[in-house]
Structure 1
Amino acid sequence: MKKLYPVLFLLVTLLSFKASAQETVMSEINYTFLEKCIQSAKDHYIRRKIFGLRAQDAHLNISTSTISYLDIFTASYFYRPNDKPVIAGDGLTTANPYSVNGFQFGGTINIGQYLQKPFLVKKAKYEYQIAELEAQEYDKTLATEVKTNYYNYIQQLSQLKLTNQSVQDTKSIAETTRNKFQKGEATLDVYNQSRAAEAAAESTKIQAEIAYLKAKDALEDIIGVKLTEIK
């Protein structure tokens, strides 16, 4: 009779294998839903937004560098009214000694800045290209992370289904064994073994549920919304 417990275990295993033959991970994968998850991550994941803002900031720097060409020029003017005397010391006034009166304009150009500007503009363009490439690279990385989390979610979901089926099978065996025990057709040892197998299956179910919830939370965290919100 002591050999009956391995038999029970083998029976549960065979039942689980039968269920696994009917349920496969590949049949659970929805690639349309997966693409929507990837797009949701691009729309909501904070780190991806940071890369996008960096690219926008780098693009603005191009315009700023181009406009700053005006910084190399300095304009000034001086105004002296016509026919106005000049105040000398001790409050004395003299006739206007200047031959040029009215508005006088002048301007300067900073040669050093003038020579630097083309390189600064080119540098800003390179920085924008780099920021764009970094954003594109991260989009690929993010898509890979979403796929990894999605596949893990599907794996844990499938495992939970198999575990639930195994629990049902184990309960059925335990119930059959209990009836036989009550009729005197099975020993107490066999009955206890069936109950132990049922408890072990319930424990496995709890672990599978926790693994499923963790996988679901990880996927929802990266896509930024609940899975039920993906349409």
Structure 2
Amino acid sequence: MLSISLFAQDAIIDEVNDATLQKYIELAKKNFPRKKAFDTRVDRSKSALNMAKSSWLDIFNGGYYFSPSSSSGTFISPGGAAGPGGASSQTGQFVVRGFSAGVSVNLGNLISKPSIVKMAKADYELAKLESTEYDNTLTTEVKSRYYDYLLAKKQLALRTVAAENYKTVINDAKLKYERAEIAIEVYTASRTLATESEAQALTAEVTFLKAKNALEDVIGTKLENVK
């Protein structure tokens, strides 16, 4: 049989420990799997936003050409000697050796990049809002299970005391019946009440264990481990 501490007060509110409840809430936010899923979604969307912001250089395409030997050609420029038809021109040779580099801009990426960053930022903000909303939902759930646990604990204590009292009553009724001080109907009624009280105590014990397990499931550890 579980060891139950009895309290003089019957009100559940008198047994609520705010410090302990806060520990349970913090443990739930740390250990509950669905909370971890929301946190992972926030981290993933934040990484996606950082990648979108850092990929602005993707709109630029760079290239280079290396010529290890000389290349030559002919160029024509205005202002030279008169050519056929009276046109003035000047010819000469040009030489290219070494590296040639160039940069081009991808207009498609340039146009779409602001929208991509905006969408990534919106996804990140949405993930944070959903995580905050679930924090509130999880907090409410922990409180609900904690209160159910306290109620079940109190009911078990009361049912246990009642069952013990009925044992005393039935023992007294048995002695009186054996001494012919009470009728068989009174003795039978006493036994029935004692049996019902014991059954209620067992039911209360099961309810308490279920409430305890439900609270432990959401905080991720045994209540005995919470100091």
With the length of structure 1 as denominator, give the TM-score of the two structures: 0.82
Q: Which amino acid aligns with 1:117?
A: K
Amino acid of the residue matched to residue 219 of structure 2?
A: I
- Rounded Cα–Cα distance in structure 1 between residues aligned with 2:64 and 2:39: 45
Matched position secondary structure for 1:63: helix
Count of aligned pairs: 202
Q: Structure 1 counterpart of 2:176, which letter?
A: K
Gaps of 5+ in 2: 1-5, 72-92
Taking structure 2 as the reference length, the TM-score comes to 0.83
For 1:42 and 1:214, how far apart are their aligned partners in 2? 21
Q: For the residues of structure 2 that align with 1:212 and 1:122, how far apart are their CA atoms?
A: 51
**Equivalent in the alignment of 1:212:** 208
| Whole-angstrom CA distance in 2 between matches of 1:22 and 1:58 | 50
Whose helix proportion is higher, 1 or 2? 1
Moved more, 55-64 or 74-83: 74-83
Q: CA RMSD in A?
A: 2.1
Residue aligned with 1:77, SS:
strand
The structure number with the bigger radius of gyration is 2
1:74 partner amino acid? N
Match of 1:62 in 2: 49
| Counterpart residue number, 1:41 | 28
Partner of 2:192: 196
Cα drift, residue 21 of structure 1: 7.9
In the TM superposition, residue 156 of structure 1 has moved relative to its aligned partner by 0.7
1:86-125 deviations in Å (ceiling 9; x for gaps): xxxxxxxxxxx98323211122210111122122112212
Q: Are the equivalent residues in 2 in contact too, given 1:42–1:139 (CA < 8 A)? A: yes
- In the other structure, the counterpart of 1:178 is 174
Structure with more strand by fraction: 2
Bigger mean CA deviation after superposition, 71-80 or 217-226: 71-80
Q: d(CA) in 1 for partners of 2:135 and 2:7?
A: 35
Letter paired with 2:63: S
Cα distance in 2 between the residues matched to 1:28 and 1:211: 18
Structure-2 separation of matches of 1:123 and 1:107: 28
Deviation beyond 4 Å, 4+ runs, structure 1: 19-22
User: Corresponding residue for 2:129?
Assistant: 133
Identity value in percent:
37
